[in-house]
Amino acid sequence: MKRWARMVATLGLTATTIALSSCGSDAPTRPLTIVGWGGSSQDAHRNAYWTSFTKTTGIKLREDTWHGGVGVIRTKVIGGDSSWDIVQVETEDLILGCEEGLFQPLDWAALGGRGAFVPSAVHECGVGAMLWSYLIGYDGDRIKGPGPQSWADFWDVKRFPGKRGMRKTPKYSLEFALLADGVPPAQVYPTLRTASGVDRAFRKLDALKPNIVWWSSISQVPDLIGSGEVAMSVTSPGRLIVANQTEKRNFKVSWHGNIYAVDYWVILSNSPRKAEANELLRYMTRPENQMRLPTFIPTGLTSVEAGKRIDPRYKRDTPSDPANMTDALALDGDFWVEYGDQLTQRFNAWVAR
């Protein structure tokens, strides 16, 4: 027993040493670290905010990228790795991470008060970074004349022959199925909270299933549409609009029945640079700074003032434009936190059949 005790003590000491050396050394020397989703959205944030932030304040920034999943952050915080300060997270990650205490509650007064932002951009632990949406995208060179105008059209493979690209998750798929089945946007989540509503969504998906090509990374979508592999696809508009500008494509999107969601900035609770992180959050949420973002990427703005003053040229491509909001549906993060496991399991079983 004694030998075991000594061995355990030695092991503990070693583990502590390793843990200390991994979390302690990095913090004082590394610059403020901000983590985005890479690609065009990270480029846009850099161009709109980060370069000028460093220029004005002298605070150096380090960038990192991730692909979501609050488990990554939980592992870091529990494991004593404090290498990240500010992270761009999705709604469910925000809810789960905030409940777990992984994120620092925000000082809303310093950010200009909750009223300065659109309501969905305000959360105890996070402030809206951008507003984006999932909708129907297609290639205007392949579907000539009037394109799909609703999810019912998306389901209509007689009028629009060809495969359909959909994201291989129950999230979005079930909502779109109910919208296609005629459920009004406001009733989608109440319906999904009932067992019969879920059955109804899966029945509707059954009808389209033979024609669905599932994608798992949004980066696959421009290729899927551009190559004609699918006639239309669930997509977010950003990449298609950027491809139209940079690659001279003729991609089109239909805003009808889009589901919009907000990405949030959060400060990790184990960040050693909370003061600087707060300063960067203030800088990124100021209307005059946020107005620059749509010039780099078609995205909705979370600052009420910025939304009013946005250049009309960019306005019609942003999810927050009132014209694009008429029959839109806001993603219900709470619903997915509660039903995500069960529905993902059922969805995976269904998709494999």
If we measure between CA atoms, which residue out of 70, 71, 52, 72 comes closest to residue 61? 52
Which residues in the 223-242 window bind other proteins by CB under 8 A? 223, 227-229
Q: Which is nearer to other proteins, 76 or 256 (CB)?
A: 76
Does residue 100 belong to the site contacting other proteins (CB under 8 A)? yes
Does residue 345 belong to the site contacting other proteins (CB under 8 A)? yes
Q: Which is nearer to other proteins, 314 or 339 (CB)?
A: 339
Centre a 10 Å sphere on the Cβ of residue 84 and count the other Cβ atoms it contains. Answer: 21
The SS3 call for residue 88 is strand
Residue from 24, 71, 119, 161 touching other proteins (CB under 8 A): that is 71
What gap in Å lies between CA 293 and CA 319, rounded to an integer? 13
Does residue 161 belong to the site contacting other proteins (CB under 8 A)? no
Q: Which is nearer to other proteins, 150 or 344 (CB)?
A: 344
Binding mask 189-208 vs other proteins (x if CB under 8 A, - otherwise)? Answer: -------------x------
Q: Which residues of 292-330 are buried (b: 16+ CB within 10 A; e: fewer)?
A: ebbebbbbbbbbbbbbeebeeebbebbbbbeebbeebbb
Q: Which stretch binds other proteins (CB under 8 A): 12-20, 146-154, 310-318, 322-330?
A: 12-20
Centre a 10 Å sphere on the Cβ of residue 206 and count the other Cβ atoms it contains. Answer: 12
Residue from 32, 87, 96, 177 touching other proteins (CB under 8 A): that is 96
What gap in Å lies between CA 146 and CA 231, rounded to an integer? 14
Q: Which stretch binds other proteins (CB under 8 A): 47-55, 91-99, 313-321, 323-331?
A: 91-99
**Do 97 and 89 contact (CB within 8 A), yes or no?**
yes
Q: Which residues of 258-276 are buried (b: 16+ CB within 10 A; e: fewer)?
A: bbbbbbbbbbbbbbbbbeb
Complete DSSP assignment for 214-234: EESSGGGHHHHHHTTSSSEEE
Q: Which stretch binds other proteins (CB under 8 A): 33-41, 80-88, 213-221, 320-328?
A: 213-221
Residue from 213, 218, 304, 328 touching other proteins (CB under 8 A): that is 213
Residue from 1, 275, 323, 349 touching other proteins (CB under 8 A): that is 349
Q: Which stretch binds other proteins (CB under 8 A): 56-64, 67-75, 137-145, 275-283?
A: 67-75
Residues in touch with other proteins (CB under 8 A): 10-11, 14-15, 18, 68-72, 74, 92, 96, 99-101, 168, 202, 209, 212-214, 216-217, 219-220, 223, 227-229, 337-342, 344-346, 348-353
